[in-house]
Chain A
C-alpha cells in the first residue's frame, strides 16, 4: 500500500491551491456569492483551461486519465476556500456520461471537459429527501413531467440529465433547460450556493439510457458525487481545524492564550481525530472505487459519507464554539465552514440514509 500522491496528483493539487489563493480571497468570495449568478464569470473556463474538468475521468471516457482520487483532490482544495462553482455536479455529469454507451455520450463529454458546454444532472426530487432512488418524475415517450430539487448549477446549464420513470423502468434523459415546459425556480441554500427546483410539464426530452444501464450509471455517478463531497468536506474540516488552532494561539483571556486551557486542547485533539478519520475513510473508499464489485464500493462510499457528515459537523460546530462570539458572525469564514458542512451532511442523502445504505450493502455482501 502507498498513501502518497503521485507527482501528477501533487501538481494537480498545487495548481488548484494556487488558483484558490490567487483568485478566491475572502472578499472576492463575498462579491461572488452576493452577485446575481452566485458564481464568478470566467472561473469555469479557467477550470477547463487548467485541465481540472477532465482530470477525474479516464481516457476511454474522454478525460485525462484520472479517476475519483483526482476529483476528491480538486474538491478538497476548492473546499478550503468554499468555492461555489458546482464542481460536484460536473463530476456527476461526466461520470454519468462515462457509464453510458460510448456513442451517445462521447461528443457531449468532449464539450463539457473543454468547458464549452455545461451539463448538470438533476436526479433528486423534493419528496425523496436526498434519496435519488425515489423517482416520481414520469416520461411518456419523449415528454417528461415532474419536479427535481436542489439542482446545483441549473441556471448556467446548457443541458440537463434528468432521471424519470418510463415504461422501461428508470431512464435518463437529456433535456434542454430552455425548452418549452421547463421552468426553473432558483433559490439560495444555507451555504450561499445557487440552486434551482426544476419543473417539467410535458417537456421534450431525448432518451439517453434506461433500465439496468441507467440505474447502474446513476449509482456510479452518485458514488463519484459522494466522494467529491467527502473530499470537499475534508478540505473544509482541515481548514477550520487549523484556523481554530491558530486562533487559540493568539486569543488571550484570563491573561493567557486560550490554547493553554486543557479543556480546549482536548477539544482540538478530538477535532483532529475526526478530521483524520475522515481522511482515512475517504482514502479507503477511493480504493474501493477501483474494484469491480459494486457492493463493497457502495458500502465504502456510504461509510465515507457518514463519517464526513458527522465529523464535519463536529469539527465545524466546535470551530465556532472555540472562536466564541466571533465564530457566529457572517464576516468570519468559520460560520461559512459550518454552513457548507451542514449542507454537505445532507446533500445526496443524510446520515440516516447512508447508514441504511451501508448496512444493506454489507448484508448483501455477507449473504
Chain B
C-alpha cells in the first residue's frame, strides 16, 4: 500500500504545471477565476492549445488521440487545470459522448466525430431528460419513427447543458413503444442545425444561461446516426452516466474554491481584523477542508479501483462532492459580507438576461461568487439527483 502520490505522479504533476503555466492565456485564466458559465470560444481555444500537446482528452485511448493516462494522472491533470484557473472544459463531448462513440459507435462515426471533439471544434449536448422524464429516464417519450433511410424524430428535451453552444446532440429516443420501457430506447446523433429543431433558453437561479429546452418537430435523421444497435440505447446511457458521476465529485474544483476562499478571507475583514483570524470562520473552513481531504482520497481510491464502495463508489462521491460544492460556495459568499448579497452579472457576459445599467459594488475578488452560490443548488440535482444516488447505494452496497 502507498496512500500518497508516487515519485512518477509528482513528476507528472510538475510537468503539467509547467505546461499550463506557460500556455494558459491570461484572459482565459481571468474568466476562469470568475467561474461564470464558460464561453464556447474559451473552451475551444484552450482545447486547441491542449490538443497540440496531446492533452485535450485525458482519458481517451491512444488510438483516438488520447494520452491514455491512469485515473490518478487524470485527476492530477484536472487538479492542475483548476489550480491555474483554466476554463472548465466541455465535458459532454470529450467525457460523455466520445467514450460511447469509441466503445459502441461505428467506424464511420468515430472518424466523423472524434477528431473534432478532440480539438474543440465540435461541441455536444446531452439530450436525455424530458419534462416528464427526469429521475425516471426510462419513461422518455421523444419518438423516432423509421421512414426509409431516416428516423423522424418528434418530441421535447429539456435541461440540455450548453445546448446554446452545441453543434450536435446525443439523444435518447424511443424507437419502440412495446415491451419494457428501457428496451425501446435508442441513441441518435443529431445535428442541431437540422430543420424542425427549435431551442428555448432556460434562465436559472443565478440569472445565467446554461440549460436549454429543445423541441423536435418531424426532424429527419439519417439511420447512420444511430449508435450501436436499435433498442440498446439504455445500456449506452448507463455507461455514459457512470462516467458523469465519478467526474461530478469535482474535488479539484472544490480545492481551488478553498484556495480562493482563503485568499478572500485574508482581504475581507471582520471586527477590524482579517476574516481568516475569526474563530467561527476558521472552524467552518477547517470542516470543509477536512471533508475535502476525505473525499479526495475516496476519489483516488475509486480511480485506482481498490475501494470498498463497490460499483456505487461513483454515487457515493457524487453525493458528498455535490454537497461540498454547495457548502464551499455558500461560505465564500458569506465571507464577502454585504457584498455577497449584491447581484453581480458576469462582467464579460454575452447573454445577460437583462441589463439594468446598475453598477454592482462587488470587488474584484468577489466577482462570480454569489452567482456560483446560487447555481450550485443544482449540483445535488443534475447527474442523477442525490436521492436517487442514495437509493442506489442502499440497494447495491448495503443490499437493502
Q: Which residues of A are interface residues toward B (Cβ below 8 A)?
A: 34, 36, 124, 126-131, 134, 149-150, 185-190, 192, 197, 252-255, 261, 263-264, 317, 320-321, 324-325, 327-331, 335, 338-339, 342-343, 346-347, 350, 352
Q: Which residues of A contact B4 (CB under 8 A)?
A: none
Contact residues, B365-400 vs A (CB, 8 A): 370, 373-375, 377-378, 380-382, 385-387, 390-391
Given the known A-B contacts A253-B134, A254-B135, are A324 and B381 also in contact in the complex, defined by CB atoms under 8 Å?
A: yes
A328 touching B269, Cβ below 8 Å? no
Cα A19 to Cα B59 with chains together (Å): 59
Q: Which residues of A contact B381 (CB under 8 A)?
A: 320-321, 324-325, 327-328
A328 touching B377, Cβ below 8 Å? yes
Q: Which residues of A contact B269 (CB under 8 A)?
A: 127
A130 touching B271, Cβ below 8 Å? no
Min CB distance A345 to B, Å, is: 9
Given the known A-B contacts A185-B359, A325-B159, A335-B205, are A253 and B139 also in contact in the complex, defined by CB atoms under 8 Å?
A: yes
A197 touching B205, Cβ below 8 Å? no
* Closest 5 A/B residue pairs (Cβ): A129-B337, A330-B203, A335-B205, A253-B136, A188-B343
A253 touching B361, Cβ below 8 Å? no
Further pairs besides A126-B339, A254-B135: 17, Cβ < 8 Å: A126-B338, A149-B361, A186-B358, A188-B356, A188-B360, A189-B343, A192-B343, A253-B133, A321-B381, A321-B385, A321-B386, A325-B159, A327-B377, A328-B377, A330-B203, A330-B353, A342-B373
Given the known A-B contacts A149-B338, A150-B338, are A190 and B370 also in contact in the complex, defined by CB atoms under 8 Å?
A: yes
Q: Which residues of A contact B135 (CB under 8 A)?
A: 253-254, 324
Residue among A36, A129, A252, A339 having the largest count of chain B Cβ atoms under 10 Å:
A129
A34 touching B359, Cβ below 8 Å? no
The 13 sampled A-B contact pairs (Cβ below 8 Å) are A185-B361, A187-B358, A261-B387, A320-B381, A321-B386, A328-B375, A328-B378, A330-B202, A330-B205, A339-B205, A339-B374, A346-B340, A350-B334
Asked if B129 is an interface residue, CB under 8 A from chain A, the answer is: yes
Asked if B297 is an interface residue, CB under 8 A from chain A, the answer is: no
Min CB distance A232 to B, Å, is: 15
B136 touching A130, Cβ below 8 Å? no
Asked if B146 is an interface residue, CB under 8 A from chain A, the answer is: no
Min CB distance A324 to B, Å, is: 5
Asked if B263 is an interface residue, CB under 8 A from chain A, the answer is: no
Cα A255 to Cα B138 with chains together (Å): 11
Min CB distance A336 to B, Å, is: 8
Given the known A-B contacts A134-B271, A253-B136, are A329 and B204 also in contact in the complex, defined by CB atoms under 8 Å?
A: yes
Q: Which residues of A contact B281 (CB under 8 A)?
A: 352
Residue among B204, B341, B378 having the largest count of chain A Cβ atoms under 10 Å:
B341
Residue of A124, A128, A190, A261 near B374 (CB, 8 A) is A190
Q: Which residues of A contact B340 (CB under 8 A)?
A: 346
A150 touching B203, Cβ below 8 Å? no
Given the known A-B contacts A185-B359, A328-B381, A338-B377, are A126 and B207 also in contact in the complex, defined by CB atoms under 8 Å?
A: no
Cα A346 to Cα B164 with chains together (Å): 35
Q: Which residues of A contact B62 (CB under 8 A)?
A: none
Q: Which residues of B contact A127 (CB under 8 A)?
A: 269, 272
Contact residues, B127-150 vs A (CB, 8 A): 129, 132-136, 139
Cα A330 to Cα B207 with chains together (Å): 7
Residue of A187, A192, A328 near B360 (CB, 8 A) is A187
Asked if B175 is an interface residue, CB under 8 A from chain A, the answer is: no
Asked if B158 is an interface residue, CB under 8 A from chain A, the answer is: yes
Cα A339 to Cα B370 with chains together (Å): 11
Min CB distance A199 to B, Å, is: 11
Q: Which residues of A contact B378 (CB under 8 A)?
A: 325, 328
A263 touching B358, Cβ below 8 Å? no
Contact residues, B206-248 vs A (CB, 8 A): 207, 211
B385 touching A188, Cβ below 8 Å? no
Q: Which residues of A contact B203 (CB under 8 A)?
A: 329-331
Q: Which residues of B contact A190 (CB under 8 A)?
A: 341-343, 370, 374
A320 touching B370, Cβ below 8 Å? no
Asked if B280 is an interface residue, CB under 8 A from chain A, the answer is: yes
Min CB distance A227 to B, Å, is: 20
Min CB distance A100 to B, Å, is: 26
A320 touching B377, Cβ below 8 Å? yes
B377 touching A187, Cβ below 8 Å? no
Given the known A-B contacts A188-B356, A338-B205, are A325 and B134 also in contact in the complex, defined by CB atoms under 8 Å?
A: yes
Asked if B270 is an interface residue, CB under 8 A from chain A, the answer is: yes
Q: Which residues of A contact B129 (CB under 8 A)?
A: 325
A150 touching B377, Cβ below 8 Å? no
Q: Which residues of B contact A252 (CB under 8 A)?
A: 132
Cα A127 to Cα B363 with chains together (Å): 13
Cα A192 to Cα B206 with chains together (Å): 11
* Nearest residue, chain B, Cβ from A136: B272
B390 touching A263, Cβ below 8 Å? yes
Q: Which residues of A contact B202 (CB under 8 A)?
A: 329-331
Cα A130 to Cα B337 with chains together (Å): 7
Min CB distance A306 to B, Å, is: 13
Given the known A-B contacts A187-B359, A330-B207, are A264 and B387 also in contact in the complex, defined by CB atoms under 8 Å?
A: yes
Q: Which residues of A contact B134 (CB under 8 A)?
A: 253, 324-325
* Nearest residue, chain A, Cβ from B376: A328
Q: Which residues of B contact A130 (CB under 8 A)?
A: 337-338
Q: Which residues of B contact A186 (CB under 8 A)?
A: 358
Q: Which residues of A contact B354 (CB under 8 A)?
A: 34
Cα A134 to Cα B76 with chains together (Å): 45
Contact residues, B110-169 vs A (CB, 8 A): 129, 132-136, 139, 158-159
Cα A255 to Cα B203 with chains together (Å): 29
